[in-house]
Every structure is written in C-alpha cells, then in structure tokens.
C-alpha cells in the first residue's frame, strides 16, 4: 500500500508533462510480484503509469523494457531488486524509494554455511 501512495503522491504533485520515473528497490521477486499486482491496477485505471519489474530471474528481453521511453504523459515505475543499484543506469529516473530490505548470499567459514 505505501508504494501505491507514492504513485498517487507523484501524480498529485507533478504535472504529467514533467518527465520523471520511479525506481523502487525491494528485497526479492516475491515482494516485487505482490506489489506489482496492486500497482498494475492503479496504472490501468489512471493510464499514467507503466509498471515494470527488474530482477535477475527475468529474461534479458524483459529486463531491457526498463530502458524504453514511456509515451508522453506516462511515467515508468520500476520494481527492482538490488540488481539496479550497481549494474545498470536507467535514464529518466527522478524518484527513488528503497524498502531498506535486501537479500544477500554469503559464506561463513566458521560454520561452513
């Protein structure tokens, strides 16, 4: 729900003619999929947003959609894991929201895990 409020706030505060996309960092694909469903409904209703996902399990073709320019008056909302923090630059990002959560793989030699 807080991410839906972000889209609504941006719609209220910034004119459609003013370009600026939203990048949201989330912990993983499960969280991305859950939030995607809510935001897609809002995007369909308002016709002001394109909601895209970005994580490593997507095909390269799906990942490349985040680089496409949206039509005039439409913003992109990109729901991403930390894949977008260091490995890609996406033009047009004006707003960033970070859930503060992330998943990392590691190895602890003390417990061999």
Domains of the chain, start order: 2-12+20-98 (3.40.50.300)
- Average pLDDT over every residue of 13-20: 92
Q: Which of 82 and 44 is assigned the larger pLDDT?
A: 44
Q: Among the ranges 7-11, 79-83, 109-113, which has the highest mean pLDDT value? A: 7-11
Position 20 pLDDT exceeds 80: yes
Its pTM stands at 0.84
Position 64 pLDDT exceeds 90: yes
Residue 93 token pair: 């990002």
Count other C-beta atoms under 10 Å from residue 52's C-beta.
22
pLDDT number for residue 102: 53
Residue 89's pLDDT band, with cuts at 50, 70 and 90, is confident
User: What are the two backbone dihedrals, phi and then psi, of residue 67, each rounded to the nearest 5 degrees?
Assistant: -90, -10
């Amino acid at each position: 729900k807080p991410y839906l409020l972000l889209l609504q706030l941006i719609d209220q505060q910034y004119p459609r003619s003013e370009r600026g996309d939203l990048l949201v960092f989330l912990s993983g694909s499960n969280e991305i999929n859950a939030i995607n469903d809510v935001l897609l409904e809002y995007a369909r209703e308002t016709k002001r947003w394109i909601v895209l996902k970005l994580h490593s399990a997507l095909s390269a073709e799906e990942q490349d959609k985040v680089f496409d320019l949206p039509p005039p008056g439409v913003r992109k909302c990109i729901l991403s894991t930390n894949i977008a923090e260091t490995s890609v630059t996406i033009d047009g990002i004006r707003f960033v929201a970070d859930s503060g959560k992330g998943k990392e793989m590691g190895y602890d030699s003390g417990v061999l895990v």
